[in-house]
Structure 1
């Protein structure tokens, strides 16, 4: 991961800080205990419990380093920066799919927080990029693998 700026909402920052705390205080201890028990089994060259625990330890340490780097490069979106006149990171946007006449709601977040199933889309995604900077009533076109999707912005609200 490069040193590029990581855009986070307040809730996204809180989630990352909580995950970091959990990994450092709980998971590290759990894995250290698993390694200690596995060493007690003897011969480490054919000890799958030891190998699994060491692999998990490496994953946890890698995730801790990644989160720490994200937090160092974080730009937290201030609630005052999120308005309701144009779509910005942190906005919740109600759009209407003009082809299917369906309304959908998206919250625009930084890529670290994106969760399409939770209707949180990245500002770097095709839909997110198309919506950014647009006003209520605007029609945007998104190039998708299935073709061009046309949305009309129905409402813009402050996120979360």
Structure 2
């Protein structure tokens, strides 16, 4: 089961519809076009089109599973007492005094450009269940960083 926001769920559903209604027919058309070019045993265009279709079907199946296993989080019932999924956390790196803000989301919703990190990342795992004012040590690939939690909100 994967917890996610309504927005994340809606995005997955929209992606699935697009893949099924737009990308799947394109893949079928590419295979048909390549097939029309003759001998399939030496037709690299046909092989590439079949491989692209297989990747597309795999992606569709993964999204279907994610949708089936999704548990939409009712953000109105969440608390800002401690960090949890769907928390937006403002924090300070104690070594550099730099400020950063991340929202902790499901893996399928993670987007670093938008400041959304997966709940499975080391930083999110280190912050979970901690409160405002806590200084947490988070083990990241480059070592250990100390982060002070300055504010917790729910988006």
Q: Same fold per TM (> 0.5)?
A: yes
TM-score by length of 2: 0.94
Residue of structure 1 in register with 2:100 after alignment: 104
Residues 114-123 or 97-106, more deviating? 114-123
Separation of aligned partners in 2, 1:145 and 1:48: 41
Please tell me whether the aligned partners of residues 87 and 132 of structure 1 are also in contact (alpha carbons under 8 angstroms).
yes
Separation of aligned partners in 1, 2:65 and 2:143: 37
Gaps of 5+ in 2: none
Deviation of the 1:36 alpha carbon: 1.1
Gaps of 5+ in 1: none
Deviation of the 1:54 alpha carbon: 0.6
1:116 counterpart = 2:112 = yes
Moved segments of 4+, more than 4 Å = none
1:150 counterpart = 2:146 = yes
1:92 counterpart = 2:83 = no
Separation of aligned partners in 2, 1:74 and 1:19: 15
RMSD: 1.3
Deviation of the 1:40 alpha carbon: 0.9
| Paired residue total | 155
Please tell me whether the aligned partners of residues 86 and 134 of structure 1 are also in contact (alpha carbons under 8 angstroms).
yes
TM-score by length of 1: 0.91
Residues 79-88 or 49-58, more deviating? 79-88
Residues 15-24 or 143-152, more deviating? 143-152
Alpha-carbon displacement from aligned partner over 1:25-67 (angstroms, at most 9, x marks no partner): 0001111111111111010111121111111110111111111
Matched position secondary structure for 1:134: coil
Residue of structure 1 in register with 2:128 after alignment: 132
1:1-160 maps to which residues of 2 (within 5 A)?
Answer: 5-159=1-155
